[in-house]
Amino acid sequence: MIEVQDLHRHFGGFRAVDGASLRIEPGSITGLIGPNGAGKTTLFNVIAGVLKPTSGRVTMAGEDITGLSPHVLFHKGLLRTFQIAHEFSSMTCRENLMMVPGGQSGETLWNTWFGRKRIANEERALRAKADEVLEFLTVSHLAEQRAGQISGGQKKLLELGRTMMVDAKIVFLDEVGAGVNRTLLNTIGDAIIRLNQERNYTFVVIEHDMDFIGKISDHVICMAEGKVLAEGSLAEIKANEQVIEAYLGTGLKNKDQLEGAPT
């Protein structure tokens, strides 16, 4: 689905991504791990068009998508979740979902004069879809709540929900589990697995919580110092000498993360 070839992203003389190459298979849930500063988020940002690469190539289903803007990639079904913007915090959760761009007629003059009925129909359909998404995520009770007032974990669910308002093909999630309680983390994990199985979403998930990675992913890629260090099952990765060294080299906290100990 996605192929990354010898990707670089440098900041001045610093090589945050330093020749990373990897493949994401269609229909997979790939866990992307690695010690702090490994270049995971930078890699995501380059793939998703938020940052331009210094060099290298990214293809999606064979098509060169290197350096395309997030907006263009969004319409191709490549999505990276973002925190709910501050401006949207006074809107309800349902309204936040309804705001996701994707095929609404919009407010051109033509529509204003001639398309009122169509817009009303679309709005009804959008609303129904938003409610369906909330139900899928088991948070229907949040429909009327303001986004600024829900918990951190519920916000993560809402961010995931935004990807369901369009026909996403591949979704990149950066630390969905950070600061989220166990119960909600399980809900997020279940939603990811169901979206994968029932709607054929491909996922790439950055996460430091190894239990979570173990539960949801069928393939794990470990990055260190801007490169892909190892790939395989989580058990293989955890037993890999180079991986252990990379985590150890960046301090005890990172080693604990690899072992899944509470940090």
Ligand X SMILES: Nc1ncnc2c1ncn2[C@@H]1O[C@H](COP(=O)(O)OP(=O)(O)OP(=O)(O)O)[C@@H](O)[C@H]1O
Nearer to Mg ion, 42 or 66 (CB): 42
Shortest Å, Cβ 41 to Mg ion: 3
14 binds, among Mg ion, ligand X, none (CB under 5 to 8 A by kind): ligand X
227 in contact with ligand X (CB under 6 A)? no
The DSSP result for 148-160, as a single string, is GGS-HHHHHHHHH
162 binds, among ligand X, Mg ion, none (CB under 5 to 8 A by kind): none
41 in contact with ligand X (CB under 6 A)? yes
Q: How far apart are CA 221 and CA 231, in angstroms?
A: 4
Shortest Å, Cβ 126 to Mg ion: 33
92 in contact with ligand X (CB under 6 A)? no
The DSSP result for 35-94, as a single string, is STTSSHHHHHHHHTTSS--SEEEEEETTEE-TT--HHHHHHTTEEE--PPPGGGTTSBHH
254 in contact with Mg ion (CB under 5 A)? no
- The correct pick among 1, 4, 41, 58 for binding Mg ion (CB under 5 A) is 41
Q: What are phi and psi of 43, to 5 degrees?
A: -60, -45
80 in contact with ligand X (CB under 6 A)? no
8 A C-beta contact, residue 112 and residue 120: no
- Amino acid at site 256: D
13 in contact with ligand X (CB under 6 A)? no
Shortest Å, Cβ 61 to ligand X: 25
- Amino acid at site 151: S
- Put the strands of the sheet holding 55-60 in their side by side order: 14-24, 2-11, 55-60, 63-64
Q: How far apart are CA 20 and CA 32, in angstroms?
A: 12
Nearer to Mg ion, 150 or 246 (CB): 246
- The correct pick among 21, 26, 36, 52 for binding ligand X (CB under 6 A) is 36
# chain residues binding Mg ion, by CB under 5 A: 1
User: Which residues contribute to the site for ligand X (CB under 6 A)?
Assistant: 11, 14, 16, 34, 36-42
User: Which residues contribute to the site for Mg ion (CB under 5 A)?
Assistant: 41
